[in-house]
Structure 1
Amino acid sequence: MPDSVRHACSFLFVPATQPERLPKALASGADLVIADWEDAVAPADKERARTALADALAALPAPQRARLLVRINSEATPWFAADLQALAQLTAQGLAGAVVPKAERAQTLQAVAQAAGPQAALVPLV
């Protein structure tokens, strides 16, 4: 788990559909910024949110990527599988990890961990 996640005390959420807010959020003093694919994104915009975050991540320097998590959609939604595929690509590019909402089963966390990779942090919301 990255030290940026291990020692974090403050978190700032930003809708992933508004990636232009990420640099300002990262400069805000919050320990971590969480790009939201879940509640802050309308169902019709889920795919656009994934693409927007991928594009924004590519423009960020590595130290800022290490302070960025993404809150994925829960396993019970139709977006979970696509979120895991996108998560795998983003963590390979330096995203710190994922916030997992409604994490009620160990199998869910195992699936997210497998997609995210061994260096990624998981922040389960129970």
Structure 2
Amino acid sequence: MTDSAALFRSVLYIPGSKTRALDKARGLAADAIIFDLEDAVAPDEKVAARATLAAELNAGGYGNRYRMVRINALDTQWGADDARAVADMDCDAILLPKVDGKGDVEALAALVPDLPIWCMMETPRGVINALEIADARFVHGFILGTNDLAKEIGCATVGDRMAMMTALQTCLMAARAAGIVCVDGVYNAFKDDDGLMLECEQGRALGMDGKTLIHPAQLDIANRVFAPTEAQIDLARRQIEAFDEAMARGEAVAVVDGKIVESLHIETARAVLAKAEAIRAREAA
């Protein structure tokens, strides 16, 4: 299952316990927000954070941003109660951390049977089981937890990320096979625009739908990198026009800029235009 009408260029983590941050998020240019009850909330604040977050979500004001709530893992003392609380919140999805397999998803689905489930892919076992997780009922998307994954693997976290490329691509392939969204992990150095740009460009080149972010200062770069460029939009329009003309002549292929255009290229071109239109609608709202 997929949230095809939503955008996920920028997916910003917001602490679920901080009223000021929750209010500020209403005016940020994020496509989606992860309201966090897990890592961003201290143990002695976790119970109170549920009520704080519920009140802010019920107050509204988040517009057409996709709203998901990350709970604590179900094997913690807070996880099950988090899930029950989120079931009554005004949100679009629930995000489960440290998913190892289909059984974790099924356990959560029993607690929130009517809520779309997203999975944090941040353990070696979870990566190995990525396809069965992606295929599980109610699963709408993957969020890559690259910090936890790097810790579990023991791999390097800087440079070109080749040390964890197998994990990134395994999760992405599973998501694509199941037709769900896959969002890249965070870039920790939030003041390093050049580094963020390179990692966003790498994620987009791999095929990721967007990037998770830890600071509002990262929003502009992620939104720009994961949006179609004017050149890509122009090419998509010309490909569709040329292909339609070829089909009218009874031909199965067209040529644009010296390159063959077949039906598979038209699917990509239409997806580019659909994303561009969704972005225009978001910016006009």
> Structure 1, residues 10-63: CA drift from partner, whole Å, max 9, x if none?
111111111332232232211111111001111111111101001111111474
- 1:56-101 residue CA offsets vs partner (Å, 9 max, x unmatched): 111114745x6211111012211111111101111xxx30111111
Q: Is the 8 A contact 1:35 1:70 kept in 2?
A: yes
Aligned twin of 1:10: 10
* C-alpha distance in 2 between matches for 1:47 and 1:122: 21
| Pair 1:108-2:108 in alignment | no
Of structures 1 and 2, the one scoring higher in RCO (CA 8 A, sep 6+) is 1
Give me the whole-angstrom Cα distance separating, in 2, the residues matched to 1:114 and 1:67: 23
More displaced, 37-46 or 16-25?
A: 16-25
| Distance across 2 between alignment mates of 1:75 and 1:121 | 16
| Higher relative helix content | 2
Structure index of larger Rg:
2
Cα distance in structure 1, aligned partners of 2:88 and 2:61: 16
Number of residue pairs aligned between Structure 1 and Structure 2: 119
- Which residues of 2 match residues 92-103 of structure 1 at below 5 A? 94-103=90-99
Could you say which residue in structure 1 is the equivalent of 2:75? 76
TM-score (norm 2): 0.39
Once the two structures are superposed, the pairs formed by residues 57-76 of structure 1 within 5 Å of their partners are 57-61=57-61, 63-64=63-64, 67-76=66-75
5+ long unaligned stretches in structure 2: 122-285
Per the normalisation by structure 1, the TM-score is 0.81
Q: Which residue of 2 aligns with 1:85?
A: 84
Moved over 4 A (4+): none
Q: Distance in 1 between matches of 2:74 and 2:101?
A: 10
Tell me which residue corresponds to 2:24: 24
Q: Percent identity?
A: 31
Q: Which moved more, 1:17-26 or 1:67-76?
A: 17-26
SS of 1:74's equivalent in the other structure is: coil
Consecutive unaligned residues of structure 1, counting only runs of 5 or more, are none
